[in-house]
Amino acid sequence: TTHRVRIQGSDTPLDVAADQSVLDAVLRAGEWLPHSCTQGTCGTCKLRVLDGEVAHNDSPDYTLTPAERCAGLALGCMATPCSDLVVEPLGAAVDDGAPRHPLRDHDGTVVVLDDIATDTRRLVVELDEPMTFNAGQYAELVIPGTGVGRQYSMANPPSESKLLEFHVKRTVGGRATEGWIFGSLTVGERVELRGPLGQFHLVREQAEPAILIGGGTGLAPLKSIARHVLDHGLVPELYLYHGGRRRDDLYDVEFFRELEAGYDNFHYRPVLSEEQWDGATGMVTDVVVEDFRSCKGLSAYLCGPPAMIEAGVRALKRRRMAPRLIFREEFTVAV
């Protein structure tokens, strides 16, 4: 069965299958709804169902409360249609002029699978067809035989649209990591993925410097952003901070040092929290605060574990960065 969904304010109704989320249908049609995690955990995709009925499926109560359900709200990434629908996104759709790339299914071949840091692998997939995306977005790798997706940000710039690079951290007991990417997966194997997803990106020219702050494999979308931004000269100065506990947690250090040597306006600062070395030590967000007396007018892009992001946002606000200029992508750890 197929139903029709129309976004309030748009004239074009879109097809949505009975087992397809509203968000999935909208993104595949090349239209847009605000979203971030696509897992029911962030609430960014909350919408009001103005007409028709949806099934909420596994929408968690902490994201969509029973009272909100009664009031006709739904999570676009979880809700499937029970009838034709008219919906209205709750959050104002931020239109910053970034291009919108339709969500697609892709097939590709694993061409690189390397250990690059403690419990961290670089996975490069050569796609059969290019995927257009904004620097900072992510894709879902499908665990073979399950249909279940796991989310990894592209670390390559959008100009390399057929060669996607991912940084994968092992999760203890993780189906996708221990069971597959750190287990049976080999170079040459065929993989399925879908993308692009997410609204974490830096693709527009801006007059003020930008600070990128990553923890662990949170470096991935920042690497894509850094390469894209430097290639296109989008910001006057670009600062990249990468935090790890020990030297063995860092990776691509040489890559970024070379990038730094090639661009006067790029500054790379790796930070270790549990080991003394000749570089910066401490919590990565504390080092940022020491380096910048004022962050007024600057923007920041943070990706990493929730605790790092919280600390980073607090620190940047203390340094007078405007909340609307702080962009974040949190890890969602799925087992």
Task: Kindly list the residues in this chain that would bind ligand FES in the complex (CB under 6 A).
Answer: 35-38, 40-45, 63, 75-77
Cβ closer to ligand FES: 27 or 308?
A: 27
CB of 73 to ligand FES, least distance (A): 12
Cβ closer to ligand FES: 37 or 222?
A: 37
CB of 252 to ligand FES, least distance (A): 28
Cβ closer to ligand FES: 182 or 200?
A: 200
Backbone angles phi, psi at 219, to 5 degrees: -70, -25
CB of 325 to ligand FES, least distance (A): 22
Cβ closer to ligand FES: 151 or 177?
A: 151
CB of 33 to ligand FES, least distance (A): 9
CB of 42 to ligand FES, least distance (A): 3
Residue 29 CA to residue 31 CA, distance in Å, equals 5
Cβ closer to ligand FES: 45 or 321?
A: 45
Cβ closer to ligand FES: 151 or 224?
A: 151
